[in-house]
C-alpha cells in the first residue's frame, strides 16, 4: 500500500497538534504528513498578552515547527489555492515559484484574521493583537510612548502619547489592555517625569458587557477591577473614526490617541475564498461533528477542518449551535480529527467530536485575574494562578513549558524587563546612515 499523503494547511493550534498526533499514530508506510505555514512556528496566542507585558520571552510563546514536527515534512510557504475536486493545493513557498501538491487528505486549518469594519482611519492607525509581531510591536510602542511623554514639552503630544485605546472587550482585548496597563504602571517607577494618573487607558466596547465567554457577574467584576485602576471603560459605545489618531466615539467624545488596538473579533481566514469548500453564512467551512467537511448532507471525502475557520456543530448544546473559536476547542478538535483520519485510513469509522466548553480564564495583569471553569467562579490571585497553570499545561512540548516557567520565575525574582526595543522595527536605519557614500544626498 502506498502511504496516504496528508496535507496540513496552517500549523496553528489545529494544524500543529493534528500533525504531531498523526505522525505519532501512523507509520511512514501508512502516511506522509506535509505541513505548510508561512511562519516557522506555531504561536500560542493565549500567551500573547503575557509576552507583550514582558512576563514571557516572545521566543517562548511560540513553538518551532521543525523542532516539534520532525516526522513531518514542513514547507515554509502559503497555500494560495485548494482544488479539492482534483485533490491538489497550490503552495507559494517563501521563495521561488508556486507549486502544486497533490494529497489524499487535507486538513484545512488557516485559522482566522481580525474582523475589521470600514472605520475611517482604522486601516492607517490601528493594529491588531493576533500575532507575536503585533504583541511585541505593541509592547515596544507603549514603552516608547512613555519615553516620548517624559521628554516632550508639548502637553498635547504628551496627552496623545499617554492615551491608549483598545477596541473590543472579548478575552483578547481585555487581557491585552489589562496586561499592557499593568506593565506601563510598573514601568512608571523609572519615569520620575510621569505619574500613573497621567496615563489614560480606554476600552471601547459596542455591547453592554465585556468577556461574553463568562457569566455577566464575572464580566461586571472585570469592569469594576478595571475602573478601580482608573481605566476609562466605554460600554455601548462604538469607534466611529480615528483619522490621524483623533479618536471619535459614538457617545460624542473625541480625543487624540497614539495607540489604537483593534481586538473586536475575528473572521475566518480569507484564504478560504480560494478553495472549493462549502461555507456557511459566516464564511466558515461547514463540518459535521467528525470534523469532515460537508456540503449539505454530502460528506466530502478526504477533506477535514477545525478551529477558528470551521463551523463545527457543538453537540453539548441545542442543534444549530457551533463550537466557539477558541484554543480550547481547537486543540481538542485537532486530536479527534487526527484519530479520525487515522481510523479512516485504516478502514474504520470516524467518531464525533464532543466537548463541553469548560469555561474561560483571563489574566488582568500580574496576580490579577478572572476565571469561570466548569461553573466554578474565581477572581484575583487564584484566578490568575489558574490562568498560568492551565496555559502552561497546554502549551505544546516539555521544552516550552520549562522555558515559560523559568521566564515567570526570573520575572518574579528580578522584576520584569520594561525596556523598549523599538529599534527592532527598523534595524537597518543606523547602518544605512553610516554607510551613506560620501557626498551622496541624505535620504
Ligand X SMILES: Cc1cc2nc3c(=O)[nH]c(=O)nc-3n(C[C@H](O)[C@H](O)[C@H](O)COP(=O)(O)OP(=O)(O)OC[C@H]3O[C@@H](n4cnc5c(N)ncnc54)[C@H](O)[C@@H]3O)c2cc1C
Interface ranges with ligand X (CB under 6 A): 9-15, 36-39, 42, 45-46, 48-49, 78-79, 109-111, 129-130, 171-172, 269, 271, 307-309, 325-328, 330
Find residue 307's DSSP bridge partners.
none
255 contacts 133 by C-beta, under 8 angstroms: no
Spatial distance between the Cα atoms of 18 and 432, rounded to a whole number of angstroms: 44
- Closer CB to ligand X, residue 36 or residue 210? 36
266 contacts 130 by C-beta, under 8 angstroms: yes
Residue whose C-alpha is closest to residue 60's, from 70, 49, 47: 47
- Closer CB to ligand X, residue 51 or residue 188? 51
Place of cell 518574579: 412
Beta strand pairing call for 266-268 and 163-167: unpaired
- Closer CB to ligand X, residue 105 or residue 158? 105
Going 410 to 365 to 264 to 142, the CA torsion angle's sign is: negative
Residue whose C-alpha is closest to residue 331's, from 307, 349, 312: 307
- Closer CB to ligand X, residue 14 or residue 26? 14
Q: Which three cell numbers stand for residue 233?
A: 471603560
Question: Where are the strands (E) in 337-432, listed by range?
Answer: 359-363, 369-373, 376-379
What is the nearest approach in angstroms of ligand X to the Cβ of residue 35? 9
Spatial distance between the Cα atoms of 378 and 367, rounded to a whole number of angstroms: 13
What is the nearest approach in angstroms of ligand X to the Cβ of residue 233? 19
What is the nearest approach in angstroms of ligand X to the Cβ of residue 427? 23
- Closer CB to ligand X, residue 115 or residue 256? 115
What is the nearest approach in angstroms of ligand X to the Cβ of residue 206? 18
- Which residue number is nearest to ligand X in terms of Cβ? 12
DSSP structure string for 66-107? HHH-TTSEEEEEEEEEEETTTTEEEEEESSS--EEEE-SEEE
Q: Which three cell numbers stand for residue 253?
A: 467624545
What is the nearest approach in angstroms of ligand X to the Cβ of residue 392? 12
What is the nearest approach in angstroms of ligand X to the Cβ of residue 46? 4
- Closer CB to ligand X, residue 326 or residue 340? 326
What is the nearest approach in angstroms of ligand X to the Cβ of residue 95? 15
Find residue 361's DSSP bridge partners.
371
- Closer CB to ligand X, residue 36 or residue 199? 36
Amino acid at each position: 500500500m502506498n502511504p496516504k499523503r496528508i496535507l496540513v494547511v496552517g500549523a496553528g493550534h489545529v494544524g500543529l497538534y493534528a500533525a504531531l498526533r498523526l505522525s505519532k499514530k501512523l507509520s511512514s508506510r501508512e502516511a506522509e504528513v506535509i505541513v505548510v505555514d508561512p511562519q516557522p512556528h506555531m504561536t500560542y496566542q493565549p500567551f500573547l498578552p503575557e509576552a507583550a507585558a514582558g512576563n514571557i520571552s516572545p521566543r517562548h510563546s511560540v513553538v518551532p515547527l521543525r523542532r516539534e514536527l520532525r516526522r513531518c515534512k514542513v514547507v515554509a510557504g502559503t497555500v494560495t489555492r485548494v482544488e479539492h475536486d482534483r485533490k491538489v493545493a497550490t503552495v507559494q513557498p517563501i521563495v521561488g515559484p508556486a507549486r502544486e501538491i497533490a494529497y489524499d487528505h487535507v486538513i484545512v486549518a488557516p485559522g482566522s484574521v481580525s474582523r475589521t469594519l470600514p472605520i475611517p482611519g482604522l486601516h492607517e492607525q490601528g493594529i491588531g493583537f493576533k500575532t507575536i509581531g503585533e504583541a511585541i510591536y505593541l509592547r515596544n510602542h507603549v514603552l516608547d510612548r512613555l519615553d516620548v511623554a517624559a521628554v516632550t514639552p508639548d502637553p498635547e503630544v504628551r496627552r496623545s502619547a499617554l492615551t491608549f485605546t483598545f477596541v473590543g472587550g472579548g478575552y483578547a482585548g481585555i487581557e491585552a489592555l489589562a496586561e499592557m496597563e499593568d506593565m506601563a504602571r510598573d514601568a512608571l517607577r523609572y519615569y520620575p517625569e510621569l505619574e500613573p494618573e497621567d496615563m489614560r487607558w480606554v476600552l471601547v466596547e459596542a455591547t453592554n458587557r465585556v468577556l461574553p465567554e463568562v457569566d455577566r457577574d464575572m464580566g461586571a467584576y472585570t469592569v469594576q477591577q478595571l475602573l478601580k485602576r482608573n481605566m476609562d471603560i466605554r460600554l455601548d459605545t462604538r469607534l466611529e473614526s480615528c483619522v490621524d489618531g483623533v479618536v471619535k466615539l459614538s457617545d460624542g467624545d473625541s480625543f487624540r490617541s497614539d495607540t489604537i488596538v483593534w481586538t473586536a473579533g475575528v473572521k475566518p481566514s480569507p484564504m478560504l475564498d480560494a478553495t472549493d469548500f462549502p461555507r456557511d453564512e459566516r464564511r466558515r467551512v461547514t463540518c459535521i461533528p467528525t470534523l469532515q467537511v460537508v456540503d449539505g448532507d454530502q460528506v466530502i471525502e478526504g477533506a477535514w477542518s477545525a478551529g477558528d475557520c470551521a463551523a463545527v456543530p457543538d453537540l453539548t448544546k441545542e442543534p444549530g449551535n457551533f463550537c466557539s473559536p477558541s484554543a480550547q476547542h481547537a486543540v481538542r478538535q485537532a486530536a479527534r480529527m487526527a484519530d479520525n483520519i487515522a481510523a479512516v485510513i485504516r478502514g474504520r469509522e470516524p467518531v464525533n467530536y464532543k466537548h463541553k466548553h469548560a469555561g474561560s480564564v483571563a489574566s488582568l495583569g500580574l496576580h490579577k485575574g478572572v476565571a469561570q471553569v466548569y461553573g466554578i467562579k474565581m477572581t484575583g490571585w487564584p484566578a490568575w494562578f489558574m490562568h498560568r497553570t492551565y496555559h502552561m499545561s497546554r502549551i505544546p512540548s516539555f521544552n516550552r513549558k520549562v522555558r515559560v516557567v523559568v521566564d515567570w520565575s526570573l520575572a518574579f525574582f528580578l522584576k520584569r524587563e520594561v525596556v523598549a526595543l523599538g529599534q527592532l522595527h527598523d534595524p537597518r536605519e543606523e547602518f544605512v546612515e553610516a554607510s551613506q557614500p560620501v557626498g551622496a544626498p541624505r535620504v
